[in-house]
């Protein structure tokens, strides 16, 4: 039986995810002013190239490994055997992709220093073991490791990155931080695994099964990574890529808060599917949808309301085009939230990953075609529109695939409820921004007013998720008194 507590694991995983993306958020004001839009755009473009090779190196093994280990975590011997088999596969695929990446650099005549520094992300794939700790629901170890290494990375950025000429150093710090982070985590594996002799390893089944996860991983990269590549190739404008990168960074941070619960509940749901507890699974899915919508809609509304006041003081002069990009990106929070809940809590743990591949591939094709059509005409705005269309298509197909297991009308009705509440929150936040000059204090005021207004709306409307949270808090207080 799993020993992890979902609420505690959510907090640990949320902390892990927040630190992974909050650190770039903390450093963004400094980096944007030091590297300038062109440097930020170059980082985004080159990193997208290296990411393709890291995706092929990963082979979908993280998602597959998390699912498989979570099913046998009560059996240390089976879990350890899976770890060694999948880790060796990672090392082999990483070595092959590193060789191909070096060949790419030599054949294209790319800037050797920048591309080699960016290549650390490929090397990191070979030592990654986050998936094993997630499967074992040991999110505390992930959080502690991430906190320490990320703090070290951000310290190095502020100490050593001083101008546009330090772009290579910035690549090394970013990639090196991830690599070191995984090395530190691997040191803790001795407590969780036992040695399994190589003669007992078997790779055949994993190679076949992991392809089911590999296909959507590559397809997903079309609308998460290829956008940056196509902007660079089509527009030849690294500055535009810099605007796109900074807008997308804010959306990623907000998305982390929304999707962190899914990782935790998804691991538990795989276990419940193995136990055939379908009623409990539906309860998890509906509850997670309510929680996701409760966060996603006000976050999206808040981004639209605050963008014009937030960008000038946060990123500095020269980043004005980031404002409309952030506004256009905002709907991704609840659109991706839908597909993330269904993919993580239903399609993947129920063994329907192959089926969901069709939706992801359809979205990837849609995104690629729209990028080709829209980027030459609309530039970075065309890339955002293409991403929105692709994610909307995927979520619609996921809902269609899940309609026999859950009520789509109940899900959409839940979303409509939080949309209306978020509109009520949006109005005062938006007009505060229009009435006052852009500054850090004004953004804080907008956030405070938004939180208070939204909380009051939840209380007055007797929102079921709010009532659950209230009940949980009261229960904890009574227990502490006892």
The confidence band for 443, taking pLDDT boundaries of 50, 70 and 90, is very high
* Residue 1 pLDDT exceeds 50: no
% of the chain at pLDDT higher than 90: 34
pLDDT in tens, 180-219: 878 877 777 767 777 777 777 766 666 766 776 676 666 6
For the chain, give the secondary structure using H, E and C: CCCCCHHHHHHHHHHHHHHHHHHHHHHHHHHHHHHHHHHHHHHHHHHHHHHHHHHHHHCCHHHHHHHHHHHHCCCHHHHHHHHHHHHHHHHHHHHHHHHHHHHHHHHHCCCHHHHHHHCHHHHHHHHCCHHHHHHCCCHHHHHHHHHHHHHHHHHHHHHHCCCHHHHHHHHHHHHHHHHHHHHHHHCCHHHCCCCCCHHHCCCHHHHHHHHHHHHHHHHHHHHHCHHHHHHHHHHCCHHHHHHHHHHHHHHHHHHHHHHHHHHHHHHHHHHHHHCCCHHHHHHHHHHHHHHHHHHHHHHHHHHHHHHHHHHHHHHCCCCCCHHHHHHHHCCHHHHHHHHHHHHHHHHCCCCCHHHHHHHHHHHHHHHHHHHHHHHHHHCHHHHHHHHHHHHHHHHHHHHHHHCCCCCHHHHHHHHHHHHHHHHHHHHHHHHHHHHCCCCHHHHHHHHHHHHHHHHHHHHHCCCHHHHHHHHHHHHHHHHHHC
Using alpha carbons only, what angle is made at residue 178 by residues 315 and 127, rounded to the nearest 5 degrees? 160
* Residue 330 pLDDT exceeds 80: yes
Task: Report residue 52 as tokens.
Answer: 């393709």
* Residue 17 pLDDT exceeds 70: no
**In this predicted structure, what is the pLDDT of residue 254?**
86
**In this predicted structure, what is the pLDDT of residue 2?**
45
pLDDT in tens, 245-274: 899 888 888 887 787 655 555 555 655 665
The confidence band for 425, taking pLDDT boundaries of 50, 70 and 90, is very high
Cα gap 476→329, rounded to integer Å:
38
pLDDT in tens, 70-129: 777 667 777 777 778 888 888 888 999 999 999 999 887 777 889 999 999 999 888 887
* Residue 221 pLDDT exceeds 70: no
Q: What are phi and psi of 437, to 5 degrees?
A: -70, 150
Q: Taking the complete model, does pTM exceed 0.75, yes or no?
A: yes
pLDDT in tens, 31-68: 999 999 899 999 988 998 998 898 888 877 777 777 77
% of the chain at pLDDT higher than 70: 83
Cα gap 433→338, rounded to integer Å:
30
User: Which residues fall within 8 angstroms of residue 321, CB to CB, at 6 or more apart?
Assistant: 240, 243, 380
Q: 252: how many CB neighbours lie within 10 A of its CB?
A: 17
* Residue 3 pLDDT exceeds 50: no
**In this predicted structure, what is the pLDDT of residue 281?**
79
Task: Report residue 268 as tokens.
Answer: 């538990």
The confidence band for 373, taking pLDDT boundaries of 50, 70 and 90, is very high
The confidence band for 479, taking pLDDT boundaries of 50, 70 and 90, is low
């Amino acid at each position: 039986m799993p020993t992890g507590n979902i609420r505690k694991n959510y907090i640990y995983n949320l902390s892990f995810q927040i630190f992974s993306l909050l650190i770039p958020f903390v450093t963004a004001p400094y980096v944007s002013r030091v590297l300038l839009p062109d440097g930020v755009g170059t980082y985004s473009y080159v990193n997208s190239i290296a990411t393709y090779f890291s995706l092929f190196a990963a082979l979908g093994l993280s998602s597959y490994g998390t699912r498989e280990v979570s099913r046998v975590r009560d059996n240390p011997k089976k879990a350890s055997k899976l770890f060694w088999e999948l880790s060796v596969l990672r090392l082999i695929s990483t070595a092959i992709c590193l060789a191909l990446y070096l060949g790419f650099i030599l054949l294209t005549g790319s800037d050797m220093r920048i591309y080699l520094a960016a290549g650390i992300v490929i090397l990191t794939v070979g030592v990654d073991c986050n998936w094993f700790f997630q499967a074992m629901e040991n999110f505390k170890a992930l959080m502690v490791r991430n906190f320490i290494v990320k703090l070290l990375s951000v310290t190095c950025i502020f100490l050593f990155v001083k101008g546009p000429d330090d772009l290579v150093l910035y690549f090394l710090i970013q990639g090196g931080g991830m690599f070191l982070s995984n090395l530190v985590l691997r040191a803790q594996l001795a407590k969780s695994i036992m040695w399994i002799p190589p003669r007992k390893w078997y790779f055949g089944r994993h190679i076949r099964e992991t392809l089911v996860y590999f296909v959507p991983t590559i397809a997903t990269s079309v609308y998460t990574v290829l956008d940056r590549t196509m902007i660079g190739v089509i527009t030849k404008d690294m500055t535009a890529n810099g605007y796109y990168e900074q807008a997308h960074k804010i959306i990623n941070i907000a998305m982390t808060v929304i999707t962190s619960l899914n990782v935790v509940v998804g691991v538990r749901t795989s276990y419940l599917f193995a136990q055939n507890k379908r009623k409990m699974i539906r309860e998890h899915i509906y509850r997670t949808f309510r929680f996701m919508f409760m966060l996603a809609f006000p976050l999206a509304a808040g981004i639209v309301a605050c963008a014009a006041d937030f960008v000038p003081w946060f990123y500095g002069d020269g980043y004005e085009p980031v404002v409309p990009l952030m506004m256009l990106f905002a709907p991704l929070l609840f659109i991706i939230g839908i597909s993330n809940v269904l993919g993580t809590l239903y399609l993947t743990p129920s063994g329907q990953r192959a089926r969901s591949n069709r939706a992801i591939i359809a979205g990837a094709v849609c995104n690629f075609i729209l990028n080709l059509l829209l980027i030459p005409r609309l530039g970075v705005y065309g890339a955002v529109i293409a991403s929105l269309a692709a994610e909307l298509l995927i979520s619609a197909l996921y809902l269609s695939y899940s309609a026999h297991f859950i009520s789509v009308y109940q899900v959409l009705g839940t979303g409509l409820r939080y949309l209306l509440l978020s509109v009520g929150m949006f109005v005062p936040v938006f007009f505060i921004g229009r009435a006052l000059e852009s500054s850090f204090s004004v953004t804080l005021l907008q956030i405070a007013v938004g939180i208070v207004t939204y909380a009051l709306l939840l209380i007055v409307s007797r929102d079921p998720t709010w009532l659950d949270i209230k009940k949980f808090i009261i229960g904890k207080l009574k227990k502490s008194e006892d």
